[in-house]
């Protein structure tokens, strides 16, 4: 194939040529890698280099680098701590370019050889493969990390194999699947025609792991500490191991606590995930076994799960008179469901253009059997009654994914769901206090508004019916919006809006929701502060957040500056929601995130809460971890009750 045409294919993918990787598996892979790099390097070097150079226009970096490079010691310090930004995928127009399905031109051709290329964790990028580790810290980190083994990727993470007819949709789904797993930072798939053949093509799968080992724990005193770790890719097998031990000498009830969890994802080609978990904590003791298979892609036909669980817990309960009670509970829980997906409306050729429409049928059975609990009567503690619930659901979903950047991530490729879903849930509950029926309805839709941004909306209503009266019902409305990416001289910016409304319908006396939240603003359930007085059965939250993804990069951590405003109303039925006080929170701060690590984002936040009850310190400073956020998808799965939380 002529070099010019080959270069055009690479540019269309927005992925560049192949760069430095870990050690090749064998001589044939080494030969192919050398041949590919030799043929592409001279023709694509200017294209690839541009992606890095376009991000090096920060005035701050240029001045700082010039000053620190005047002396040997400060030059070494700069090279150790700072890095030039290399997220080439945020360059203007490239997101739109990579939205073109690059595999369409090869539809129907036969897949010949599949080559796996595994990039190092640090210093590499699937978008700029000329990059190399910039300092000894990155090089040492790459040596210490064990990349996901090649046979694991082939056996458990690929939806296609040698000899298959190339399906563009399957390859694109496979890219998204690799990116959404917890062990990969990013992934790209490249298709190249086999020289001298009009029938065969070779497929190159490029993956970049995240740093999989992260410590956990803390120290309060010499006799009060916790220590543990999480390994998300144990020995390169993709297995996940979490273990933590805590000791509290002053605690008269239980001095030692521990918890552990082991997960085996995507077993073989079944895409089943198995998990075992043990918790032995002061107020929670639990043992659980789970086996599940989700609808990974719209083309997945079967999904389901089985879970067995034994739990002992001291349930914290705040009564209407503000007294705090600990209710001891012990119960066995089992849950099993299975679902089937059917193609409807559109032909396979229309799937990618219109979104893949599917009809989903599912059945689920859950069982709660209490061994220890408070006295349950028709008027008290109804929440703790034994129950066996069977639910049926029928739903329609249409979804596709648009690739974007700088939304919840700090430069990695993000797959934004676009489409809609509607489902009807019905069933019955053989409850201890008498049988009752259940009915629920969900409708959600999300789409890009041309150049204005992305909007998601969800409407839900559901509840139990007993004696022609609804109980434990809920009506909810939710809307999420983020703006288009705005370019400034300091970096890229987005605005986020979130609104959630919950109306509880004949909830039990010991049921309520709160405005509490341990996070920050827009992406949390609350207004940003914990307070037992902020509770009720009806709630309305409005959150706004603006994020400036700066060009600063400290030791591999991207820095984002935030500003937020949170408003919340909450009330019990005897008081109209709109007549309740508007609780408020305002603040600024910044976050640090390294997409190559499994750690949460770190955040320093300065917040002001002017009217929180019993809050003697309205100005708060917090240093906290922020877990990664996910988009609300349109993949219907197990029939479930409308969430009230």
pLDDT digits (tens, 9 = 90+) for 495-530: 999 999 999 999 987 788 888 743 333 233 455 666
Cα separation, 328 vs 315, whole angstroms:
6
Q: Is 287 part of any domain?
A: yes
Percentage of the chain modeled with pLDDT above 70: 77
Specify whether 307 is located in the same domain as 183: no
Lowest mean pLDDT among 68-82, 290-304, 498-512, 588-602: 68-82
Q: Is 137 part of any domain?
A: yes
DSSP run (H or E) holding 193? strand 184-193
Which residue did the predictor score with more confidence, 4 or 378?
A: 378
The average confidence (pLDDT) of the chain is 79
**pLDDT at residue 17, as a whole number:** 30
Backbone angles phi, psi at 99, to 5 degrees: -70, -20
Count up the domains in the chain and report the number: 2
Which residue did the predictor score with more confidence, 32 or 439?
A: 439
**pLDDT at residue 75, as a whole number:** 64
What residue numbers bound the domain in which 136 lies?
3-209
Which residue did the predictor score with more confidence, 153 or 77?
A: 153
Q: Is 196 part of any domain?
A: yes
Percentage of the chain modeled with pLDDT above 90: 37
Lowest mean pLDDT among 79-83, 230-234, 379-383, 586-590: 79-83
Query: Which among 209, 244, 270 is the end of a domain?
Result: 209
3-state helix, strand, coil in the chain (%, to 5): 20, 50, 35
Specify whether 35 is located in the same domain as 138: yes
Specify whether 175 is located in the same domain as 315: no
Predicted model pTM: 0.75
Backbone angles phi, psi at 635, to 5 degrees: -90, 95
The DSSP result for 262-323, as a single string, is EEEEEETTTTEEEEEEEEE-SSEEEEEEEEEE---STT--EEEEEEEEEEEEEEEEE-TTS-
* Listed ranges 28-32, 116-120, 412-416, 532-536; the one with the highest mean pLDDT: 116-120
Specify whether 377 is located in the same domain as 465: yes
**pLDDT at residue 639, as a whole number:** 93
**pLDDT at residue 96, as a whole number:** 45
CA of residue 33 relative to chain centroid, distance: 33
Does 27 score more than 80 pLDDT? no
Label residue 348 by pLDDT band (50, 70, 90). Answer: low
- The CATH number given to whatever domain includes residue 503 is 2.40.160
Which residues contact residue 168 at a Cβ distance below 8 angstroms, ignoring those fewer than 6 apart? 101, 103, 104, 106, 107, 352
Q: Is 483 part of any domain?
A: yes
CA–CA–CA angle 209, 213, 218 (5° rounding): 145
The candidate with the shortest Cα–Cα distance to 317, out of 309, 326, 328, 308, is 326
**β partners of residue 473:** 505
Q: Is 274 part of any domain?
A: no
**pLDDT at residue 217, as a whole number:** 81
Label residue 76 by pLDDT band (50, 70, 90). Answer: low
Q: Is 245 part of any domain?
A: no
Give me 222's structure tokens. Answer: 């010499």
Q: Is 139 part of any domain?
A: yes
Q: Is 352 part of any domain?
A: yes
The candidate with the shortest Cα–Cα distance to 594, out of 617, 639, 625, 638, is 625
Does 34 score more than 50 pLDDT? no
Which residues contact residue 217 at a Cβ distance below 8 angstroms, ignoring those fewer than 6 apart? 225, 226, 227, 228, 244, 246
Specify whether 419 is located in the same domain as 537: yes
Q: Which residues of 362-401 are buried (b: 16+ CB within 10 A; e: fewer)?
A: bbbebbbebeebbebeeeebbbbbebbbbbebebbbbbbb
**pLDDT at residue 25, as a whole number:** 38
Query: Which among 173, 191, 209 is the end of a domain?
Result: 209
Beta strand extents in 483-608 (DSSP E only): 486-488, 491-505, 513-514, 535-536, 538-554, 557-571, 583-593, 601-608
**pLDDT at residue 622, as a whole number:** 79
Query: Which among 174, 194, 209 is the end of a domain?
Result: 209
Label residue 388 by pLDDT band (50, 70, 90). Answer: very high
Cα separation, 369 vs 384, whole angstroms:
9
Cα separation, 455 vs 446, whole angstroms:
6
**pLDDT at residue 395, as a whole number:** 95
Mean pLDDT of 162-191: 89
């Amino acid at each position: 194939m002529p070099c010019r045409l080959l270069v055009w294919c690479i540019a269309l993918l927005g992925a560049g040529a192949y760069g430095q990787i870990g050690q090749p598996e064998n001589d044939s892979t080494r030969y192919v890698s050398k041949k590919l790099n030799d043929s592409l390097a001279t023709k694509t070097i200017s294209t690839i280099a541009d992606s890095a150079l376009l991000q090096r226009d920060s005035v701050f970096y240029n001045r700082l680098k010039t000053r620190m490079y005047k002396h040997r010691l400060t030059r070494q310090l700069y090279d150790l701590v700072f890095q030039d930004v290399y997220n080439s995928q945020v360059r203007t127009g490239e997101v739109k370019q990579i939205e073109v399905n690059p595999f369409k031109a090869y539809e129907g051709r036969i897949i010949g050889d599949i080559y796996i290329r595994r990039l190092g964790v640090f210093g590499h990028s699937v978008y700029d493969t000329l990059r190399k580790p910039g300092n000894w810290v990155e090089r040492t980190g790459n040596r210490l990390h064990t990349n996901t083994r090649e046979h694991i990727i082939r056996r458990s993470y690929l939806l296609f194999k040698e000899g298959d007819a190339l399906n563009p949709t399957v390859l694109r789904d496979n890219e998204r699947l690799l990116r959404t797993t917890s062990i990969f930072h990013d992934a790209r798939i490249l298709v190249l025609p086999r020289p001298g053949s009009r029938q065969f093509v070779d497929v190159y799968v490029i993956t970049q792991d995240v740093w999989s080992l992260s410590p956990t724990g803390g120290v309060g005193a010499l006799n009060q500490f916790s220590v543990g770790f999480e390994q998300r890719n144990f020995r390169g097998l993709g297995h996940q191991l979490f273990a933590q031990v805590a000791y509290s000498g002053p605690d008269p009830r239980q001095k030692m606590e521990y918890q552990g969890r082991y997960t085996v994802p995507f077993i073989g080609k079944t895409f089943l995930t198995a998990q075992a978990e043990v918790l032995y904590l002061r107020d929670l003791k639990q043992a659980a076994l789970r086996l599940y298979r989700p609808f990974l892609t719209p083309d997945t036909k079967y999904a389901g799960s089985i879970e067995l669980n034994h739990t002992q817990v001291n349930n914290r309960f705040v009564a209407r008179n503000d007294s705090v009670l600990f209710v001891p509970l012990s119960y066995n829980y089992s849950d099993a469901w299975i679902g089937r997906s059917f193609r409807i409306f559109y032909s396979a050729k229309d799937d990618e253009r219109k979104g893949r429409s599917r009809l989903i049928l599912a059945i689920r059975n859950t069982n709660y059997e209490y061994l220890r609990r408070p006295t349950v009567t028709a008027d008290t503690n109804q929440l703790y009654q034994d129950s066996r619930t069977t639910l049926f659901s029928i739903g329609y979903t249409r979804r596709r994914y648009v690739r974007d950047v700088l939304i919840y991530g700090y430069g990695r490729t993000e797959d934004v769901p676009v489409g809609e879903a509607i489902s009807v849930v019905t069933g019955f509950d053989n409850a201890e206090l008498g049988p009752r029926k259940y009915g629920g309805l969900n409708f959600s839709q999300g789409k890009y508004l041309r150049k204005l941004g992305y909007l998601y909306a969800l409407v839900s209503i559901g509840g139990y019916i007993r004696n022609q009266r609804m109980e434990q019902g809920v009506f909810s409305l939710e809307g999420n919006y983020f703006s288009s990416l705005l370019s400034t001289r300091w970096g890229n910016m987005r605005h986020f809006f979130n609104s959630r409304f919950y109306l509880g319908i004949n909830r039990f006396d010991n049921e309520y929701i709160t405005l509490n939240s341990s996070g920050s603003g827009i992406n949390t359930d609350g207004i940003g502060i914990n307070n037992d007085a902020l509770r009720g059965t009806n709630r309305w939250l409005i959150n706004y957040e603006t994020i400036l993804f700066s060009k600063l990069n400290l030791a591999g951590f991207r820095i984002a500056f935030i500003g937020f405003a949170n408003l919340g109303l909450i009330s019990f039925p005897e008081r109209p929601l709109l007549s309740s006080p508007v609780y408020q929170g305002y603040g600024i701060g910044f976050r640090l995130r390294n997409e190559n690590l499994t750690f949460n984002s770190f955040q320093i936040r300065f917040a002001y809460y002017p009217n929180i009850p019993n809050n003697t310190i309205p100005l708060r400073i917090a240093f906290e971890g922020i877990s990664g956020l996910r988009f609300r998808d349109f993949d219907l799965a197990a029939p479930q009750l409308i969430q009230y939380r």
